[in-house]
């Protein structure tokens, strides 16, 4: 599988930015078929670096041009599904930013932009994580208390029925 992975990276390296832009969904699926999820993530990241003609172009596009992070931070948190969507988007962004920070060839200026972007989204991720952890524990503890009370009532009523017989 490493041979296939390396072949896909080499294929992307041989392509121009314009060629990469014109890859169809079907072609891309064919390129990545048979790769592990981790390898697919690496291919997508590599494809983006190649598309923006280097890591610095990718950083500028991701952080400044598309307003990606602000759009993610502004996502609603009305219900568990939208909170989960926001969390996965921000977690994916944090993963990409972390890769960008250590990518060979990144300028110091862009490294600082990446670190600032990570600092911007980390509090939102932490807040969402606390919401997921705290919410489920409270519900579980309330349910278990209710079920214990219900069990006590049932056992008392069953005990009374046996005594009355």
Query: Could you write out the DSSP letters of every residue in 108-148?
Result: HHHHHHHHHHHHHHHHHHHHHHHHHHHHHHHHHHHHHHHHH
Is it the case that residue 1 has pLDDT exceeding 90?
no
Is it the case that residue 153 has pLDDT exceeding 70?
no
Sign (positive or negative) of CA dihedral 142, 143, 147, 153: positive
* Model confidence band, residue 149 (pLDDT cutoffs 50, 70, 90): low
The predicted structure's pLDDT at residue 148: 52
Is it the case that residue 66 has pLDDT exceeding 90?
no
Rounded to an integer, the average pLDDT of 21-32 is 94
Q: What is the pLDDT of residues 80-93, one digit of tens each?
A: 888 899 999 999 99
CA distance 104 to 86: 29
The predicted structure's pLDDT at residue 138: 44
The predicted structure's pLDDT at residue 39: 95
Cβ burial of 151 (10 Å; 0-12, 13-18, 19+) is exposed
pTM: 0.71
* Model confidence band, residue 6 (pLDDT cutoffs 50, 70, 90): very high
Backbone phi, psi, residue 52, to 5°: -90, 15
The predicted structure's pLDDT at residue 139: 45
- Structure tokens given for 115: 């670190």
Instruction: Yes or no: say if 15 and 50 are a contact pair by the CB < 8 Å rule.
Output: yes
Rounded to an integer, the average pLDDT of 37-53 is 94
Kindly report the number of other CB atoms within 10 A of residue 104's CB atom. Answer: 5
CA angle centred on 77, ends 74 and 81, rounded to 5°: 125
Q: What is the pLDDT of residues 92-141, one digit of tens each?
A: 999 999 999 999 999 999 999 999 999 999 999 998 888 777 554 444 44
């Amino acid at each position: 599988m490493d041979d296939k992975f390396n072949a896909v990276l080499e294929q992307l390296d041989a392509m121009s930015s314009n060629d990469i832009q014109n890859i169809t969904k079907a072609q891309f699926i064919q390129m990545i078929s048979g790769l592990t999820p981790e390898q697919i993530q690496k291919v997508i990241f590599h494809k983006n670096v190649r598309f923006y003609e280097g890591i610095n172009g990718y950083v500028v596009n991701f952080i400044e041009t598309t307003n990606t992070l602000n759009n993610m931070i502004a996502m609603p948190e009305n219900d568990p599904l939208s909170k989960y969507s926001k969390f996965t988007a921000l977690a994916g962004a944090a993963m990409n930013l972390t890769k960008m920070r250590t990518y060979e060839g990144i300028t110091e200026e862009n490294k600082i932009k990446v670190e600032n972007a990570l600092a911007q989204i980390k509090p939102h991720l932490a807040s969402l994580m606390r919401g997921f952890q705290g919410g489920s524990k409270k519900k579980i503890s309330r349910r278990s208390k209710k079920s214990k009370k219900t069990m006590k009532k049932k056992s008392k009523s069953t005990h009374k029925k046996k005594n009355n017989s």
